[in-house]
Amino acid sequence: MKKLILSMVLVGATTLAFGQKKVVRSAEKNFKNGDYATALSEVETALQDPETGSDPETTLLKAQIQLGMFATDSSNTMENLQVGNNSYESFMKAFEMGDGDKTSGVGKDIFEEDIPGAPENLRPNSVNKLKNVAFDKAITQYNEEDYEMAYEFFNLAGEIDPTDTTIHYNAGFLANDLGRTEDAKRHFSTLLDIEGYNKLNAYYFMIQILSTEDKDPEAAYAMVTRAKEEYPSDKDLSTYEIQLLLQLNKMDEAMAQIKTALESDPNNTALLLRSGYLKEQAGDMEGALADYKKSVEVDPQFFEGNYYAAALLIEKAREILNELNGLSDEEWEKRSESMGKEANEYYADAVTYFESALEIKPEDTGIMEILFQIHTRLKNDAKAEEYNKKLIELLGPNWMEG
């Protein structure tokens, strides 16, 4: 009797296992016919069985069914994205359940290479197809200006393939544009770890994010230092380095870097401007003015060079007048004419640079106000009235009160 009962149990277990395998075969059939909902329901049932559920092929089938659902749904919504994420999770679970080898067994099917654009019946239902479908969806949403979803699909594709530089650059670019700086840093950091890839743009983005969004000049400077080790001759990195040294108040180091950079690029207006600024901060007004003037000689349309030169000339004039006002009455009588003349020469020189700056930015009322004041001091009444009329036109008749 015991033998009979045992035999019946074994027959029952065999029948159950056979039944679940039949369910798997039905799921495969419905999957191939495009009935993904039925196929998914069937494979979920099979996964509950100890035998078919422990077979990585069953989990692989689930991943492939989810891939089919993901690929054929053109809504490209967050719900559709979740199906893609679920498919990737199922692929990875099947891989873990297998022998962990991409070249044999279930791993070979999971990582089979896909050829985008090939006839659908020739494309494998692999994780690489999932990546390419996600990429195509990202491009579709980008072209439709749905940048949030474009990023999400690029991000999924990037999770699948950490080595695809195009995907991670696009994802990082979009994330940065969307203000998702942590996501942007994650993708750009991935690019920085890929050997043989031209990482300059990734470094530029990382430096910009760290210095402006994160407001962490120390981290940005460390990133510049790392970048310069790989690209020592890049001029933009040298400019970033100097800018960050200034932010960190490392004036001596900044000046040393500027001098080195100017040796190889003596006509770089941005470097000349920074050199002048550092000299001005150190009290070397003549050296600063020389740098500002040279930047304008190199590029007469360089607004900052014109403005800084003019501002420094005004400062020199004011210093003379302040010194004059501090003299005793006797000394004032002796020197007022010569010192006043010297101050006016600086003011007149400043006019040239301010007018050039105004030509570059013709709506800059701040410069117009300064020019009005200078011409008034120099008794250039016609020019002063000219600027007065412009300011009334732009700011109203009570502009002086503002």
Distance CA 322, CA 63 (A): 81
Distance CA 40, CA 382 (A): 86
DSSP letters spanning 141-208: HHHTT-HHHHHHHHHHHHHH-TT-HHHHHHHHHHHHHTT-HHHHHHHHHHHHTSTT---HHHHHHHHH
What are the start-end ranges of the H helices in 248-283?
A: 251-264, 269-281
Predicted pLDDT at 118: 84
Whether 203 is in a domain gets the answer no
Average pLDDT over residues 32-44: 94
Predicted pLDDT at 19: 55
Instruction: Say which residues have a Cβ less than 8 Å from residue 175's Cβ, sequence separation at least 6.
Output: 151, 155, 181, 183, 184, 187
pTM reported for the whole predicted model:
0.71
Q: Quickly state the pLDDT bin for 15 (edges 50, 70, 90).
A: very low
Average pLDDT over residues 210-239: 91
Q: Quickly state the pLDDT bin for 314 (edges 50, 70, 90).
A: very high
Whether 229 is in a domain gets the answer no
pLDDT tens string 321-346:
999 999 898 989 899 899 999 999 99
Whether 141 is in a domain gets the answer yes
Number of domains in the chain: 1
Identify the CATH number of the domain in which residue 20 sits.
1.25.40
Task: Determine what percent of the chain is predicted with pLDDT higher than 70.
Answer: 95
Catalogue the E-assigned strands of 20-98. Answer: none
Whether 29 is in a domain gets the answer yes
262, 264, 268, 272 alpha-carbon torsion, rounded to 10°: 10
Q: Is residue 196 over pLDDT 60?
A: yes
Whether 59 is in a domain gets the answer yes
**8-state DSSP, 399:** G
Whether 84 is in a domain gets the answer yes
Predicted pLDDT at 20: 63
Question: C-alpha 208: how far from its chain's center?
Answer: 7
Average pLDDT over residues 13-42: 80
Whether 369 is in a domain gets the answer no
- Domain hosting 141: range is 16-114+124-161
Average pLDDT over residues 345-363: 95
Q: Is residue 312 over pLDDT 80?
A: yes
- Nearest C-alpha neighbor of 256 from the set 270, 274, 237, 268: 274
